[in-house]
Amino acid sequence: MNIEKGNISSRQLMFLIIGLIEGSTLIAAFILGVTKEDTWIVLVVSFIIEGLLLATYMKLIQLIPGKSIIEINTITYGKYLGKVISIIYIFHFWFVLVSNFRFIADFYSTFLMQETHIEVFIFCIGIATIYVVKKGIETLARIVPPIAIGTVILGILLSILLFKEYDFTNILPIAQINLSQFIQGVNVLVAIPFGEIFVFFMMFSSVVDKENIKKEAFKGLIIGGALFLLIILRDIFALGVPEALDVQPSYQVAKLINIRDIITRMETLIAVVLLFNVFVKIAIFCYSAVLGTAELLRLRTYKGIVSPIVIIGMIFSVTMFDASINQAYFGANIYPVYAWIPEVIFPLGSLVIAKSKKLKLQKIN
């Protein structure tokens, strides 16, 4: 069922993947307090794991081409179990959308506008999300590249401007965390910045040059992962390791920049860029949630359900956590365990079943 009539190129897909990973850079605060100086090692290991997962995703769309994850679930798991699994996926898309509403609202109300209620931020972002998602995947794909490129340039520029603030001994000692901390850190990084790439199962079928999907998807993962590693190392070199889960080093580090009293207050620019980054992530997951819902309900278009789904999400995001520290704890300890189900277990199961069915068909033929 092809509800989305718009198309994107594989290069636009690459930028969407980069944008998604950039929208997750704030979660570095979730693990720095756990994995400390070894966060960069945990990141590299998580990146390798995600590379294997992405190869799995690519193999699955090769076996079942031109289908969204909702359709793949029906093909592999059957009509009824497939629907149950699809509902889990749709809920997951929606939950990530809701969590990021709250995440960026808490960030702004904590660090920039303490007198402003989070409802104001959530409302503004929600309205923008409804507008962009209703415009379709082509509009979203045109918006993301300049944001993604600008974020990469800013990340490199900040790293250079902060060089005189670096203490390279902050990364020492190496390999001091225990196995439990290592596993927790890998869980967080695989589940959030990298594993969430599975959301593009809802967009792969809209790519025109499908023969280039694998190449451009891996490019997006590599560029996004390299930027994330740069940010982690920069923050550790400049600030050391924060002890609190709700400290945002990517924002705090910008306060250190002062070039002859001319280039200062870079944290405001960082906050604006982070807002655009998280908005991109919100829009991607919102699009996937509404498109998945429309496919499951066999609707002709998804545009009529965008507003209700976003509004319900906005309301829920206000009440889901008592404070930002609660969301940080949830993101570091609970969410990563659950996220492995839709991001790892279900796709692997689909791949095994798809391969099995293909072998059976080959034997019959």
Question: CB under 8 Å to 18, separation ≥6 — which residues?
Answer: 148, 152, 220, 223, 224, 227
Classify residue 94: in a domain, yes or no: yes
Classify residue 322: in a domain, yes or no: yes
Report residue 178 as tokens. Answer: 């225990």
- Report, in angstroms and rounded to the nearest whole number, the Rg of the chain calculated over CA atoms: 20
Would the pTM of this model clear 0.95, i.e. be above it?
A: no
- Tens of pLDDT, residue by residue over 81-112, are 999 999 999 999 999 999 999 988 888 887 77
Range of the domain at 73: 10-355
Classify residue 224: in a domain, yes or no: yes
Q: How many domains does the chain have?
A: 1
| pLDDT at position 363 over 50 | no
Classify residue 55: in a domain, yes or no: yes
Classify residue 4: in a domain, yes or no: no
Classify residue 1: in a domain, yes or no: no
CATH number of the domain where residue 168 is located: 1.20.1740.10
Straight-line distance from the first to the last Cα atom of the chain, in angstroms, rounded to the nearest whole number: 27
Q: What pLDDT band is residue 45 in, cutting at 50, 70 and 90? A: very high
The answer to whether residues 3 and 300 touch, using CB atoms and an 8 Å cutoff, is yes
| pLDDT at position 130 over 70 | yes
Report residue 232 as tokens. Answer: 């982690």
Classify residue 248: in a domain, yes or no: yes
- Tens of pLDDT, residue by residue over 198-251, are 999 999 999 999 999 999 999 999 999 999 999 999 988 888 876 654 457 777
- Tens of pLDDT, residue by residue over 287-305, are 999 999 999 999 989 999 9
Q: Which residues of 272-285 are buried (b: 16+ CB within 10 A; e: fewer)?
A: ebbbbbbbbbbbbb
Classify residue 363: in a domain, yes or no: no
| pLDDT at position 345 over 70 | yes
The answer to whether residues 74 and 62 touch, using CB atoms and an 8 Å cutoff, is no
Q: CA-to-CA distance for 110 and 121, rounded, in angstroms? A: 12
